[in-house]
DNA sequence: CCAGCTAGCTAACGCTCGTAAGTTTCGCTT
DNA sequence: AAGCGAAACTTACGAGCGTTAGCTAGCTGG
């Protein structure tokens, strides 16, 4: 049975959450399990009651995040056919996620290279799916005469990295909420492909 | 005296260059001195004939890069007074640098947190100088009615990260040169602050 | 041709890391 | 009240890290 009133609130969840915070702060290789343990006020080997390895922590974080991004994208674009509409909502949820899931975004973008094979390649394939889907929207929009941009590939890269960058400065306790940031950045994205304010 | 025909072409320069490549690939903490040595076909302790510590390698890379960015900025903006003109040239050189100095940009943006104090704080102060100078151009442009943007701070963040992101996908042997990338990204930046193509 | 310096080498250090094994504590169930 | 099981603990391991010390080969300048 799981303890009703545990002496300390340590669980798979809290270990993962603490790892997430520290990985985002100092990187995967820059974070020692002893630091995670210390943050939880526990000895290092006790962590193994809630996980199987340090690498597994990273894999859990990356997989959940990458799958979340794809799920967001599908939900945001399904049923929409107009390129401007599709791009607007695809960017909106992607930008928003980087304000609400800052730590995850930072870890995925910095430490994917620390994933062991073949997991790393699998995750990269999933990321490419999102990458290509977004580029496709832009290409379609250019073909339909809705967007004005020299290179859809360049614009796609620019827009994605623009959203990712939110994770690097956004502060939860700041004066501006996730929805507001997402809307402003979506405006930036649309202006990149030559769509003025509506 | 320096050897005229060294057995192997190992020097402070080549050590730094190899470190730069590996740091960019795997991160500072993810790179072992033994890997740098292996790439140079030399045993690990031999590196100490050309450097004083691993940390020093990182410091050299970061300092040169950050100072380079500031020097670029000053040269590009001096003598220019028109906000559009100032922003155009400031972004152009900044974007260009991220195509020509990819590895440096990646290391600075990922591993500044691995710098030891007080060096880390000094470098952050220098980076803030560039940050503030760029934001000032945007604020001035908004005040002068040249730019249309809700928040100069947000736009400044977006434009800087946009340039930084070039380092993450640009390939020297690709079909597109540094000047061309820089020009296209500068167009993106100007469209973010509401300046259409000229 | 020899002295000296540069830059390589081997060996070894102290430390920290991730992980394993086995033991102890203690609340909940029966 | 007993005892089971979860989750903490201590101890220890082997590997790898950055770095130091001391030795050696060989080119270079005199």
Structure tokens at A184: 């402003």
Contacts of B168 in chain A (CB under 8 A): 161
Q: Are residues A24 and A68 in the same domain?
A: no
Burial of A85 (0-12, 13-18, 19+ CB in 10 A): middle
* Residue A100: per-residue pLDDT: 97
**D4: residue with closest CA to C1':** A1
Q: Are residues A40 and A89 in the same domain?
A: no
pLDDT at residue A4 is higher than 60: no
Decide if A96 contacts A178 (C-beta within 8 A): yes
pLDDT tens digits for B27-86? 999 999 999 999 999 999 999 999 999 999 999 999 999 999 999 999 999 999 999 999
Numbers of helices and strands, H then E, in chain B = 8, 0
**C21: residue with closest CA to C1':** A45
Q: Are residues A145 and A183 in the same domain?
A: yes
In a domain, A22, yes or no: yes
Contacts of A30 in chain B (CB under 8 A): 27-29, 113-114
pLDDT band at residue B7 under the 50/70/90 scheme:
low
Q: Are residues B26 and B86 in the same domain?
A: no
* Residue B195: per-residue pLDDT: 86
Pairwise CA distance, residues B92 & B152, whole Å: 18
pLDDT band at residue A10 under the 50/70/90 scheme:
confident
Q: Are residues A110 and A151 in the same domain?
A: yes
Put simply, whether A128 touches B (Cβ < 8 Å) is no
What is the CA A105 to C1' C14 distance in angstroms? 37
Pairwise CA distance, residues B134 & B137, whole Å: 5
**D5: residue with closest CA to C1':** A1
Q: Is A53 left (phi over 0), alpha (psi -120 to 50) or beta?
A: beta
Pairwise CA distance, residues B104 & B124, whole Å: 15
Handedness of CA B193, B124, A20, A120 (dihedral sign): positive
Out of A30, A155, A184, the one facing B154 most closely (by C-beta) is A184
In a domain, B74, yes or no: yes
Put simply, whether B56 touches A (Cβ < 8 Å) is no
Footprint of strand C on the protein (CB under 7 A): A 1, 3-5, 7, 31-35, 44-45, 48, 53-55; B 1-3, 6-8, 10-11, 42-43, 45-46, 49-50
Quickly count: other Cβ atoms within 10 Å of residue B54's Cβ. 18
* Residue A28: per-residue pLDDT: 98
Contact A151 B184 (CB under 8 A): yes
In a domain, B1, yes or no: no
Contacts 24+ apart (CB under 8 A), B170-176: B170/B98, B170/B99, B170/B102, B172/B102
B172 contact partners, CB below 8 Å, separation of at least 6: B102
Quickly count: other Cβ atoms within 10 Å of residue B52's Cβ. 8
Pairwise CA distance, residues A150 & A57, whole Å: 41
pLDDT tens digits for A114-144? 999 999 999 999 999 999 999 999 999 999 9
In a domain, B148, yes or no: yes
Structure tokens at B123: 């470098």
Contact B29 A30 (CB under 8 A): yes
pLDDT at residue A107 is higher than 90: yes
**D17: residue with closest CA to C1':** B32
CATH code for the domain in which residue A101 is found:
1.10.357.10
pLDDT at residue A177 is higher than 70: yes
B2 Cβ nearer than 7 Å to chain D strand: no
Quickly count: other Cβ atoms within 10 Å of residue A8's Cβ. 10
In a domain, A1, yes or no: no
Structure tokens at A15: 């270990």
Domain that holds residue B25: 7-49
Decide if A133 contacts A80 (C-beta within 8 A): no
Query: A-B interface: how many C-beta pairs under 8 angstroms?
Result: 76
Pairwise CA distance, residues B107 & B22, whole Å: 10
Q: Are residues B95 and B32 in the same domain?
A: no
Q: Are residues B101 and B45 in the same domain?
A: no
What does R_g of chain B's alpha carbons equal in angstroms?
A: 19
CATH code for the domain in which residue A26 is found:
1.10.10.60
Q: Are residues A101 and A127 in the same domain?
A: yes
Average model confidence (pLDDT) across chain A: 94
In a domain, B2, yes or no: no
Which nucleotide minimizes the distance between its C1' and the CA of A48? C19
Helix (H/G/I), strand (E/B), else coil: A119 = helix
Q: Are residues B25 and B90 in the same domain?
A: no
Q: Which residue has the higher pLDDT, A5 or A197?
A: A197
- For the segment A89-108, the average pLDDT, to the nearest whole number, is 98
Contacts of B184 in chain A (CB under 8 A): 150-151, 154
Q: Which residue has the higher pLDDT, A5 or B15?
A: B15
* Residue B167: per-residue pLDDT: 96
pLDDT at residue A198 is higher than 70: no
Out of B164, B165, B192, the one facing A188 most closely (by C-beta) is B192
Q: Where are the alpha helices (DSSP H) in chain A?
A: 12-26, 33-39, 54-77, 83-100, 102-111, 119-143, 152-169, 178-192
Chain A 152-191, residues with CB within 8 Å of chain B CB atoms: 154-155, 157-158, 161-162, 164-165, 168-169, 181, 184-185, 188, 191
* Residue B10: per-residue pLDDT: 85
- For the segment A75-84, the average pLDDT, to the nearest whole number, is 96
In a domain, B197, yes or no: no
pLDDT band at residue A7 under the 50/70/90 scheme:
low
For chain A, what is the domain count?
A: 2
Decide if A71 contacts A41 (C-beta within 8 A): no
CA dihedral B104→B110→B114→B120, nearest 10 degrees, is 70
Rounded to two decimals, what is the model's pTM?
A: 0.91
Shortest alpha-carbon distance between residue B137 and chain A (Å): 18
pLDDT tens digits for B137-188? 999 999 999 999 989 999 999 999 999 999 999 999 989 999 999 999 999 9
Pairwise CA distance, residues A23 & A106, whole Å: 9
- For the segment B98-111, the average pLDDT, to the nearest whole number, is 97
Q: Are residues B41 and B129 in the same domain?
A: no
Q: Are residues A19 and A68 in the same domain?
A: no
In a domain, B28, yes or no: yes
Nearest to A61 by CA among A21, A16, A92: A16
CA A121 remoteness from chain centre: 17
* Residue A196: per-residue pLDDT: 77
Q: Are residues A125 and A45 in the same domain?
A: no
* Residue A2: per-residue pLDDT: 52
Contacts of A111 in chain B (CB under 8 A): 27
Pairwise CA distance, residues B188 & B181, whole Å: 11
């Amino acid at each position: 049975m799981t303890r009703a009133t545990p002496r300390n609130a340590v669980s798979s969840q809290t270990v993962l959450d603490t790892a997430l915070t520290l990985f985002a702060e100092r990187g995967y290789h820059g974070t020692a399990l002893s630091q995670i343990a210390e943050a939880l006020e526990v000895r290092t080997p006790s962590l193994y009651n809630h996980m199987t390895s340090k690498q597994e922590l990273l894999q859990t974080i990356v997989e959940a995040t990458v799958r979340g991004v794809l799920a967001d994208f599908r939900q945001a674009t399904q049923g929409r056919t107009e390129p401007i509409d599709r791009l607007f909502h695809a960017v909106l949820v992607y930008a928003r996620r980087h304000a609400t899931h800052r730590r995850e975004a930072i870890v995925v973008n910095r430490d994917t290279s620390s994933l062991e094979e073949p997991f790393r390649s699998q995750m990269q394939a999933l990321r490419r799916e999102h990458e290509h889907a977004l580029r496709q929207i832009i290409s379609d929009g250019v073909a339909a005469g809705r967007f004005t941009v020299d290179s859809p590939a360049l614009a796609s890269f620019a827009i994605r990295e623009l959203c990712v960058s939110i994770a690097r400065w956004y502060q939860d306790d700041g004066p501006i909420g996730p929805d507001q940031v997402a809307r402003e950045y979506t405006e930036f994205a649309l202006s990149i492909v030559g769509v003025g304010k509506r």
